Amino acid sequence: MGAFITSPFRFLPVSTLQQEIRRRRTFAIIAHPDAGKTTLTEKLLWFGGAIQMAGAVRARKANRHATSDWMEMEKQRGISVTSSVMQFPYRNEGGDYIVNLLDTPGHEDFSEDTYRTLTAVDSAVMVIDSVNGVEAQTIKLLNVCRLRSTPILTFINKLDREGRAPIELLDEIESVLQIQCAPMTWPIGMGKSFKGVYHLVNDTVQLFDPNADSEKGATAGLIQGLDNPELDRVLGSQAEELRIDIELVRGASHTFDKEAFLAGKQCPVYFGSAVNNFGVQSLLDALVDQSPEPLARPTETREVKPMEEKFTGFVFKIQANMDPKHRDRIAFVRVCSGRFERGMKLLQVSTGKTVAINNAITFMAQDRNTTEEAFAGDIIGVPNHGTIRLGDAFTEGETLKFTGIPSFAPEFFRRARLNNPLRLKQLQKGLQQLAEEGATQMFRPLASNDLVLGAVGILQFDVVAHRLEHEYGVDAIFEPHECSTARWLRGKQEDIDKLIDKAGHNVALDGAGDYVYLAPSQVNLRLTQERFPDIQFMETREIV
């Protein structure tokens, strides 16, 4: 336990603190590439009043870009390669909420950054393409959520296209992802015959009009009651088909069980068309009404509960150069307990130093505002001048280390080489910053002066090269490296020294100064493990 810092800030009344925390909802959107995740993000922001016009994705011909895709490379490629954070207020019949939306990378090469983002949320929306169903990245991301029992809501997208039968999609989700589905809405037709959705809970049909103003949700009206004659007049033969479908659905599907949902065992399912803004508000209402308020977070010594009066938070992401004009680095901090106030003096646990946080910010993609206060569940950005690392904890004095923020062993390796050797200092600085924010991993072999990069996907090297050129003025070439896989070394120093003595040409230091074995092949790794049984060769490293 550290010595608690005396703060000049007065605590809020407990009732006010609890009220503020309970209205927070913090979630991520996860999906396979091209499932419509970024479009859905834009429409959620529009409903929350955070942007004036939903449809920047749709209006690319006017040289607009999705609000959450702010990095230059993302704009060029149309993919999300960083995790954006966006906060907006939302009000419905259930109350007033503050929503923190984390838009995660959809490309398969960025699963590590996505995983770290998922450590900062309390629930997630899984977007499924109705045409393609469950895809590879969806499986990976759901498995990551399952490790933490994260509650999942599912949005089956693109009902305005000819896709697979809804019941087939639910069966696939249940069988492949091993999670119960509880349909909350049910589609009426699809593609050209898509007429809307039926809300199973409130017995209401929401009609779809592709010609309606999608800014208002492309809704042509509501019809109350499945047996309402108006339904037959509007839908014709599709009305009777809907009644048969709903009878089958009610008999064969799971009914919504909030306890199972909060335990990560069941996902409520909503159908819609994000590009037409249809079904999105129902999803947002479900998010704020059903998803959990801020949850407790584990540390090495105890569980931190959100309603505790004293502030705690941890760094789950570091982003360099959010604004290229300022060459800045921002540490993304998940507030885990209590209240943050501008000017607070906090203990940075990793350094043991007390720092005054005067310029914390909240985000709307690249737009930022200085924040006066924040509560458990919120995400704040803290300017970082190179002293803040992934996994760092900030507290009002208590020495805590939050757990569950891993770094994965990379699967691909490259050696960095310069076209202009005089830019070596800039290369080292750029790679160090990119490694600190988790965009890549950097290794320094003990036996050479090489700079070896590791990544979980090939595209990460393209991103690093692009950012080195445009943000640091470095023209670097990444050459193949003979390394096949990497393992962090855990054991007594004397045992590690023996390994270095025998195979030091394969040992490196990572960015945190930990020993790593860079194996040229799986066979070499297995033989080395057999020769040094007292050393653990770890596939993941806990970031603390």
For domain 297-395, say whether CATH 1.10.1060.10 is its number: no
Separation CA 450–CA 337 (nearest Å): 43
For residue 152, pLDDT beyond 50: yes
Q: Where residue 58 falls among pLDDT bands split at 50, 70, 90? A: very low
Answer yes or no: is pLDDT of 140 > 90. no
106 is in an annotated binding site: yes
Q: What is the pLDDT of residue 216?
A: 55
Residue by residue, DSSP assigns 496-511 as HHHHHHHHGGGEEEET
Residue 54 near residue 46 (C-beta atoms within 8 A):
yes
pLDDT grade, residue 133 (50/70/90)? very high
Of 13 and 460, the one with more pLDDT:
460
Model confidence band, residue 107 (pLDDT cutoffs 50, 70, 90):
low
pLDDT digits (tens, 9 = 90+) for 250-289: 999 999 999 999 999 999 999 999 999 999 999 999 999 9
203 is in an annotated binding site: no
158 is in an annotated binding site: yes
Q: What does the DSSP 8-state code read for residue 82?
A: S
Q: Residue 406 above 80 pLDDT? A: no
E strands in 343-498: 344-348, 353-357, 361-364, 367-370, 373-375, 379-383, 393-395, 406-408, 412-418, 441-445, 452-455, 476-480, 485-490
CA distance 47 to 362: 19
**Per-residue model confidence (pLDDT) at position 363:** 74
69 is in an annotated binding site: no
Is 160 annotated to bind ligand?
Answer: yes
> Which of 79-88, 112-121, 240-249 has the largest mean confidence?
240-249
Listed by start position, the domains of the chain span: 16-290, 297-395, 406-542
> What pLDDT is recorded for position 66?
60
**Contact criterion met (CB below 8 Å) for 236 and 162:** no
d(CA 307, CA 332): 21
Confirm whether 297-395 and 406-542 share one CATH topology: no
Q: What is the pLDDT of residue 272?
A: 96
**Percentage of the chain modeled with pLDDT above 90:** 61
Domain with residues 406-542, CATH architecture? 2-Layer Sandwich (3.30)
Average pLDDT over residues 109-127: 82
For the cut 80, the answer to whether the pLDDT of residue 220 exceeds it is: no
- The pLDDT value recorded for residue 459 is 80
Query: Residue 104 annotated as binding?
Result: yes
Which pLDDT belongs to residue 130? 96
- What is the tens place of the pLDDT at every residue in 308-343? 999 999 999 887 655 555 556 789 999 999 999 999
pLDDT for the residue 415: 96
User: Is 107 assigned to a binding site?
Assistant: yes
Full-model pTM: 0.81
Choose between 336 and 467: higher pLDDT.
Answer: 336
Considering the domain 16-290 in this protein, what is its CATH number?
A: 3.40.50.300
Residue 75 marked ligand-binding: no
Does 199 show up as a binding residue in the annotation?
A: no
